[in-house]
Amino acid sequence: MTLAICIHCGEQKFGAFVPCRLCGFAPRTVTEKAKSIILSDHHFPKKELLSYQLKVKEFGEIPVTSDGRLPFDSVFLATVARPIFDQAYFHHEQVNSETENIRCKRCGGVFRPEYECPFCLACTSETQSPFAKCDRCRILLEPGARFCPTCGTPTSRDEKVNPSDVGSYLALMTRRVSRSEPILGRHESIRAFRAKLAAEDIGGNDLEVEMVGLFAGEVQLARFFRYGAGLTACVLEVVDLYRHSFVIVDDDSSFANAKANLCLQRLDEYRDEMASNPDAWALPLGTRIARNCLEEDSCSASAVFEMSILFGFFLKVFEEPLRRRIFGA
């Protein structure tokens, strides 16, 4: 039985979705459901869970945050709510379809679902199939590859090393790292720029900094891939989680889509910048980052330099955890 905490009043209950016997609250929206799943012993050891319980009892419902902190950071909520979003999409499609066909949530292709799954067969396989790994060369290959093309060793597979799970890991890490003190506190140009921003514009700058982080994560991940489509699939999973996190924060799906498109655009820009200067990308990339993160069109040399250091810092932070997540200790 799942020990859960009523997100509304803090009473203990068994089952995240059952109505609270004290206040009668039962989660209905995606966010309420995700919060209720998180405040259960599936996600936290009992001791930690009880500390959140005290918090709810004393201060009321814990709000959604975007700072990477537990329990209710919006990207963390989005990873937990993914099946709920998928289910809602499936039912929406089914109700609005005049045939038995629906549009795939990922590629938009029309298909006939066999289960309550909103993804076509190709997309399901693309996001869920574990990559083939060569543990010796530390590279990732197409799911079907049986031998490493470099050293000839038979490949291995780990169920949790697929685009969907690696994407969740990368999303959570991007959020946590980009909100950390070493990023926002120590880089003088970012600190100075943010000090001038109005409170309502900080969120936009947060997202710009996060996209620099995500790109660094992508660059580190790319070093393992001998299979470009796999890398792309991981990054698309991250952006989709972010899209959901925007819905959780603003409850406005067209706004969320616009922001997710901005994320994709930024990744394209950074990728292009790096590809067009393969041997000396640091400063051109720094210039591009300064334009987005500091809104400086004619950037000072020190701001550009600092932005390339920022990117280097992200690269370093992502390197070891990603390797460990994929290839183990």
- Answer whether 189's CB lies under 8 Å from 307's CB: yes
Task: Please identify which residue in 46, 69, 136, 138 interacts with Zn ion, judged by CB under 5 A.
Answer: 136
Task: Please identify which residue in 33, 106, 175, 187 interacts with Zn ion, judged by CB under 5 A.
Answer: 106
Least distance to Zn ion, CB of residue 140, Å:
11
Within 208-247, which residues bind Zn ion (CB under 5 A)? Answer: none
Radius of gyration (C-alpha) of the chain in whole angstroms: 21
Within 1-20, which residues bind Zn ion (CB under 5 A)? Answer: 6, 8-9, 11, 20
80: enclosing H helix or E strand: helix 74-96
Asked if 301 touches Zn ion (CB under 5 A), the answer is: no
Of 142, 137, 141, 138, residue with least CA distance to 125: 142
Task: Please identify which residue in 80, 132, 148, 290 interacts with Zn ion, judged by CB under 5 A.
Answer: 148
Asked if 263 touches Zn ion (CB under 5 A), the answer is: no
Asked if 89 touches Zn ion (CB under 5 A), the answer is: no
Least distance to Zn ion, CB of residue 51, Å:
18
Least distance to Zn ion, CB of residue 57, Å:
10
What is d(CA 162, CA 140) in angstroms, rounded to the nearest whole number? 10
Return the HEC string of 133-184: EECCCCEEECCCCCECCCCCCECEECCCCCHHHHHHHHHHHHHHHHCCHHHH
For residue 242 the two structure tokens come to 């972010």
Q: Is the peptide bond before 63 cis (omega within 30 degrees of 0)?
A: no
Task: Please identify which residue in 14, 15, 19, 23 interacts with Zn ion, judged by CB under 5 A.
Answer: 23
- Stretch near Zn ion under the rule CB under 5 A, chosen from 24-32, 203-211, 240-248, 288-296: 24-32
Integer angstrom CA distances of residue 91 from 27, 29, 101, 146, 193? 18, 15, 12, 38, 44
Cβ proximity to Zn ion: between 179 and 226 the closer is 226
Identify the residue whose tokens are 């597979």. Answer: 157
What is d(CA 315, CA 47) in angstroms, rounded to the nearest whole number? 35
Least distance to Zn ion, CB of residue 236, Å:
11
Asked if 137 touches Zn ion (CB under 5 A), the answer is: yes
Size of the site for Zn ion (CB under 5 A): 21
Task: Please identify which residue in 29, 97, 150, 257 interacts with Zn ion, judged by CB under 5 A.
Answer: 150
Cβ proximity to Zn ion: between 107 and 192 the closer is 107
Integer angstrom CA distances of residue 153 from 140, 143, 150, 158? 13, 15, 8, 16
Asked if 123 touches Zn ion (CB under 5 A), the answer is: yes
Asked if 121 touches Zn ion (CB under 5 A), the answer is: no
Task: Please identify which residue in 54, 110, 151, 202 interacts with Zn ion, judged by CB under 5 A.
Answer: 151
Sign, CA torsion 248/253/259/263: positive
Where along the sequence are the contacts to Zn ion (CB under 5 A)?
6, 8-9, 11, 20, 22-23, 25, 104, 106-107, 109, 120, 123, 134, 136-137, 148, 150-151, 153
